């Protein structure tokens, strides 16, 4: 198992970071929040989980060991693979997931793309005794009060990808109506989807 990777950030893409380790570029799948904290050329340390399939080896990266542990625990539930587990962590930080499961908050889980009402009910039953109680204060469906909101995460991710501050501002403004629609519907803006939409607007203007 590759427990972590550490080294300079060689590249950052919408869902992947490349960390140079001993002269080798390690591609690591990360959530938008994790990617937002990376800068090309700067040192980074990511906790990792290696997922082995017959036709692939995929390395998933996390901001800390707790996030990696929750990622692996989520996959012990039936029907939850690495992509869905990562999607859950992209919407909710570890403590918010623990709180949602411990309180039976079905709505928090259905905010994750790919999880419907029946799936949420099943996950609440299967994960209740696995994730444990929240380690600190958390609110399902939202990052902690000190964590950046969707617009800050998106802006930081765009700047990290090499776009100028002005370009990032314009791209965030362009996708704001989509985020507001999600909020109006009682959902949570999905930073990964908004990032893809923002990149499309930037590519059209270049």
What class is the 66-127 domain? mainly alpha
Protein fold of 150-205? Helicase, Ruva Protein; domain 3 (1.10.8)
Give the architecture-level CATH label for domain 4-62.
Beta Barrel (2.40)
Domain positions in the chain: 4-62, 66-127, 150-205
Long-range contacts from 147-150, C-beta under 8 angstroms, 24+ separation: 147/33, 147/93, 148/33, 148/36, 150/179, 150/188, 150/189, 150/191, 150/194
pLDDT tens string, the chain, 206 residues long: the values are: 789 999 999 999 888 999 999 999 999 999 888 888 889 999 999 999 999 988 889 999 999 999 999 999 999 999 999 999 999 998 888 888 988 898 888 888 888 888 899 999 999 999 988 887 777 544 444 343 334 577 887 887 777 777 788 888 888 899 888 888 877 877 777 777 788 888 888 776 55
Question: Would you say the pTM of this structure is higher than 0.75?
Answer: no
């Amino acid at each position: 198992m590759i427990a972590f990777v550490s080294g300079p950030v060689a590249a950052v893409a919408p869902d992947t970071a490349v960390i140079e380790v001993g002269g080798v570029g390690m591609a690591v799948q990360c959530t938008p929040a994790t990617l937002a904290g990376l800068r090309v050329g700067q040192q980074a340390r990511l906790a990792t989980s290696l997922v082995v399939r017959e036709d692939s080896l995929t390395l998933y990266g996390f901001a800390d060991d707790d996030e990696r542990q929750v990622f692996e625990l989520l996959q012990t539930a039936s029907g939850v693979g690495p992509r869905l587990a990562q999607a859950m962590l992209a919407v909710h930080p570890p403590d918010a997931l623990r709180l949602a499961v411990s309180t039976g908050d079905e709505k928090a889980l259905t905010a994750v793309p790919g999880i419907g009402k029946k799936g949420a009910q099943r996950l609440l039953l299967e994960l209740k005794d696995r994730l444990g109680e929240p380690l600190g204060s958390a609110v399902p469906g939202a990052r902690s009060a000190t964590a950046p909101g969707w617009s800050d995460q998106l802006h930081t991710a765009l700047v990290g990808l090499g776009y100028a501050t002005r370009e990032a501002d314009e791209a965030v403004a362009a996708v704001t109506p989509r985020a507001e629609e999600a909020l109006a519907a009682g959902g949570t803006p999905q930073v990964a989807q908004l990032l893809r939409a923002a990149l499309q607007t930037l590519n059209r203007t270049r």
